[in-house]
Amino acid sequence: MAAESKLAPIRKGLLEFLVLKIVGAQSIYVPDILRQLAGTEFATQEGTLYPLLSKLRREDLVQYEWQESEAGPPRKYYRLTATGRAQLAALDDYWNLINRTIADFGH
């Protein structure tokens, strides 16, 4: 499908936004982020998510803390920093804005 080649970069660009949203809703570890994304257009893998989270952490948008788990090694739970929260709010606003703009055209 020809449209697919245009949709893929859109999804890729929006993944970061979505991850910020998911992490913003609750303190969460990676397998649960993947489970939330699975079955959506944004289904992804650890090989993609870990580099992205590492980048977001360097940009001081997310931070993590270790939490013990009943089984296996401790887990990294991610949550937003104050900067991350501000950026998520800005992205959310912008997303609503462009959504309205797109909807307004072509009538």
Partner 1 sequence: MQRIATTVRLNRSVLQFDDAAHARLERYLAESTSLLEGDPDPQEILADLEQAVADQCIRRLGPGQIVVTLAELAPALEEIGSVQAPGDGVAAPSATMSREPSPRLLQQFSEGAVISGVCLGLARYFRLDVTLLRVIAVLMLLGTGGAMVLVYLALMLLLPHAPLDPGGARVRWLPARCRAFMQYVRAKLGVDRPGKVAA
Q: Helical H runs in 46-81?
A: 46-58
Under the criterion CB under 8 A, does residue 51 sit at the interface with partner 1?
yes
Per DSSP, the three-state class of 2 is coil
Indicate the residue among 26 and 51 with the shorter CB distance to partner 1. 51
Structure tokens at 11: 């999804």
Element (H, E) at 79: strand 75-80
The three-point CA angle 57-58-60 to 5° equals: 65
Under the criterion CB under 8 A, does residue 65 sit at the interface with partner 1?
no
Under the criterion CB under 8 A, does residue 91 sit at the interface with partner 1?
yes
Under the criterion CB under 8 A, does residue 21 sit at the interface with partner 1?
no
Residue count at the site for partner 1 (CB under 8 A)? Answer: 32
Under the criterion CB under 8 A, does residue 55 sit at the interface with partner 1?
yes
* CB 87, CB 61: distance < 8 Å: yes
Residues in the site for partner 1, rule: CB under 8 A? 9, 12-17, 20, 30-31, 44-48, 50-55, 57-59, 61, 72-74, 76, 87, 91, 94
